Structure 1
Amino acid sequence: MAATENLESLKKQYGEAIVRRMERRKQLQKIMMFVGVVAFMGMMSSGFGKIFKDALQSPQSNEVEETSTVAEQLRSRERGYESVLQREPENPTALEGLARVRLEQNKLEEAIVPLEKLVELYPDRKDYRGLLKQVKSDTKSAGEK
């Protein structure tokens, strides 16, 4: 009842043509609001779909991929250091890098050769001697097991 009275007072005040335009605008606003809400919900659902899809994927497969990638990177770095050492057998950066990579790969026996070369080239470096001693000790312990 109040809406009809309100509509009648608007018609008196502004005229019928203007009131019809106002009503059409309200309808258009409602339609646009509905379309906006539907579009927003569609965008949100596609985003949530991706989140749920990622969450439901097996995290173990990602770990395996990362592990193989790390192992591949270590092998690649090892080959790189070896190629440098073929050209420059006394390159300290390549010797140290090769030893480090082999230790990361848990190739203790293979890490001894570059470490011995480093100790031979730099006898005053206590860190090289200490690391060589530690690796040889670890190699003996692993061999006894």
Structure 2
Amino acid sequence: MSQPRRRWFISVVLVLAIIAFVGFSMIPLISTAFRASQPVSETSVTNQGQKQLEEAARGYEVVLQREPENQTALRGLVEARIQLLDLKGTVDPLEKLVALNPAETQYGLLLAEVKQRLGDREGEAAAYRSILNANPGNLQALEGLANVQLREQRPMEAVALLQNTLSNAPEANQNQPGSVDINGVRLLLAQVYATQQNYNEAIAIYDELISNNKQDFRPVLAKAMALQQQGKNEEAKPLFDNAAGLAPAQYKERINQLATPSPTPSPLAPDITPSPSPPPSP
């Protein structure tokens, strides 16, 4: 993805993160880097100049009447409508961006996020499946689709999705080296097991991942959370400390927050997969 498009994507995700604080449920695809560090009040969203945003949106609409495939206008319209809290109005321009950029998975991920917030689970799942059809190893899409299946009380489908990805990974990586992050997919599989309280299976995967890469904080944190969910807080504490020591700086505060026992653990603990690949060794 080019730098201007990457900056646009980050900008839109930040706006989505802000919206989450003012009335929409959090969703898995907003990474820890965005959602854990932006406690924003509703006034900081609404005081940005609604009239200017409405005028900007109308301007982009005029451009698109003349040039329906003008991607600058499509991106601008998406961003303006998100800031106006008009998520439904972002669907059409996002779908056009997806169609115009089949290789740019970020547009599909944003579309899936919007569909989730609108309560369109079928649309959300379809967006993730479209990404996976072209890129079966995309961790964000795998995580998102697994979350949809868990929310619909279909855990075995989530397990099958990830197991099939792992089964096909050697061939996929032979055809396109690095296309499937096997450790990342195994981490997601262990998280699914943990949500179903199959802690023995989850922790066995975490232990193997920890053994294979002692510098990756994600399985350490995941194991700590699994122990915490079982009420084994004393066993979990040194793992939280270890994870905080291994993690990049932007994740340390969130890890310390997670170390405080919570009565309602998150469904798929998405915070522990902040990037498609493990962080680099120090």
Q: Give TM-score, length-normalised by structure 1.
A: 0.50
Q: Give TM-score, length-normalised by structure 2.
A: 0.26
Q: Which has the larger radius of gyration?
A: 1
